[in-house]
Structure formats: C-alpha cells, structure tokens
Amino acid sequence: MDKIIEIAFAVSMLGFVVGSMITLGLGLTVSQIIAPYKKLKSLLLVLLANFVLVPLFAFYLVQWVPMPEGVRIGIILLSLGGGAPFIPLIVAVAKGDVGGSVGLMALLLIVTIIFMPLAVPFLLPGTLVSSLDIAKSLVTIMLVPLVIALCFNAYLPKIAFRLQAYTRKITGLSVLGLIISILFLYTEVIVSNVDVLAVISVFFLGAAVIGDFMGGRSRSARISLVAGTGLRNPPVAILVASQSFSTEPMAAIVPLLLAIIAVLILLPWAKIVSTYA
C-alpha cells in the first residue's frame, strides 16, 4: 500500500509542478515577461531581496534555531527559489499591480532556475547533491513546459485561454493528491515536528518584511514584493527536495506547509490592504 501512495505522491508532485508551469505559461505574454527588465533600479532591488537577503536570512535562521535536518534543508531550498504561481492572486486581492506581479513572478522563476543549482551545494555543503542534476530537473520539468505553454499562448491565445481552465483544475487536483499522500505517508513525521510551524512562520514573516522594505514608498511595488518575496516558490522547493533529498521527507513537507501558512496570512492581509486602495 505504501508503494502505491509513494507513486501517488510522485505523480501528484509532478502534476503540481508541471501543471503550475503550463497554467502560468498559458496566461503569460512576452511583454509581461520582459516588463520587469525595463526598470533597472526596481529589477536590482527585486533580485537583491529575493536572491541575496532572503537566502542570508534563512542561512542565519537555520544556524541560530535548532531544527531537524529536513526542516533546515526545506527552509534553505525555499530561500533559494522565487516566483510562486499564486503571487498574482494575492496582488489582485490587495488591488495592486496585477500585470506587474505577473512579470515579477516570471522574472523570479527564470532566475530561480539558473540560481538554485549553483547555490544549493554552497548553502548545503556536505550533502550529496549534484548541481547538474538539479539544473536538469528544473529545466525539463519547469522551464520546458513553461516555454511550450508560452509559445502556445503566443500563437493560439484563444485556445490557450480555454485550456488554462483545465490545467488549473488538474493542478488543483494534484495539490489535493499531494496533501493526501503526504498525510498518509508522513503524518507521524509531521506530528513529531509540529513545533517547526513556528520556525516556518518566522521565515515567511521575515521574507515578507524584507520584500516590504525593498518595495520602498511605492504601494504597488510593496504589495508585489511582500507577496513575491514572502511566498517564495514551494513547487520548486518540493521538486528539488523530493528528487535530491528523498531521505529527508520534511524537506518536501516544509515548502507545502509554508504555502499554506503564507496564503492563510496573506489573503486577510491583502483584503485589509485593498481597503486603502
């Protein structure tokens, strides 16, 4: 039975990651992707927040706070990946710049695919992980589906719009399958590590505060950066954790828990922020 659930976990994880990328690509245009590159100062602040300050915060957090190895790995992986697929949802609820948030999401995802394979061996020394293996996984499972979906949307936008509704449903079902299989396989592990919810919450709040600070005085920039920098990219972290750190199940569970905590905090926050629009 456990073997069947393990297969269901692997299939659900791939469905979640690939489905997220296809859904994202079917709704993106080239102009949205290149939009963040037009403002050099904003671009540098976004990159500094997401790929320097957040990883540094995570690095010192896992040094200062005692935690299981799997949790430590999960937080480090989260810190290295940005561009969560649900950034625009939070920004839309907050009545922020949805178009800009889409471009931000795409930018963070593209940089993550390049940055993570280089940074993981550096921040997790001593682990038997290959930069090349991580790069291959991210390119084949994330970048290729994203590019294919982007091309499809560029040439067949009407069909892409209709397909997006189905890929969104498939992604949602994959998330449900992922949660059920994790609960079935690792309930004891989660219960025995329930105290790590506080650590995950501290990491999320710290990352979100970094985003808020780097957004400066611009309301739309602050909203986008709080969402983008706080949410990180759970699908990327789950993918790398399940493929490169399979002996530490909490490494894949931590990103899922962060996604749940982040959405539960950010949605009410976005509702409150929207009243000041």
Q: Which range, of 46-50, 69-73, 96-100, averages the lowest pLDDT?
A: 96-100
Q: Which range, of 63-72, 130-139, 210-219, 236-245, averages the lowest pLDDT?
A: 130-139
The pLDDT assigned to 47 comes to 93
First to last CA, the chain: 52
Q: Tell me which of 121 and 13 has the higher pLDDT.
A: 121
| Cβ burial, residue 247 (10 Å; 0-12/13-18/19+) | exposed
The pLDDT assigned to 252 comes to 87
**Using one digit for the tens of pLDDT, what is the confidence trace for 4-58?**
777 787 788 788 778 878 887 888 777 777 777 777 888 899 999 999 999 999 9
How much is the pTM? 0.83
3 state SS for the chain: CHHHHHHHHHHHHHHHHHHHHHHHHHCCCHHHHHHHHHCHHHHHHHHHHHHHHHHHHHHHHHHHCCCCHHHHHHHHHHHHCCCCCCHHHHHHHCCCCHHHHHHHHHHHHHHHHHHHHHHHHHHCCCCCCCHHHHHHHHHHHHHHHHHHHHHHHHHCHHHHHHHHHHHHHHHHHHHHHHHHHHHHHHHHHHHHCCCHHHHHHHHHHHHHHHHHHHCCCCHHHHHHHHHHHHHCCHHHHHHHHHHHCCCCHHHHHHHHHHHHHHHHHHHHHHHHHHCCC
Q: What class, spelled out in words, does domain 2-272 have in CATH?
A: mainly alpha
Q: Spell out the domain ranges in the chain.
A: 2-272
**Using one digit for the tens of pLDDT, what is the confidence trace for 168-187?**
898 888 888 878 887 787 77
The pLDDT assigned to 277 comes to 64
pLDDT class of 244 with cuts at 50, 70, 90: confident
pLDDT class of 128 with cuts at 50, 70, 90: low
Contact indicator for 53, 210 with CB cutoff of 8 Å: yes
pLDDT class of 126 with cuts at 50, 70, 90: low
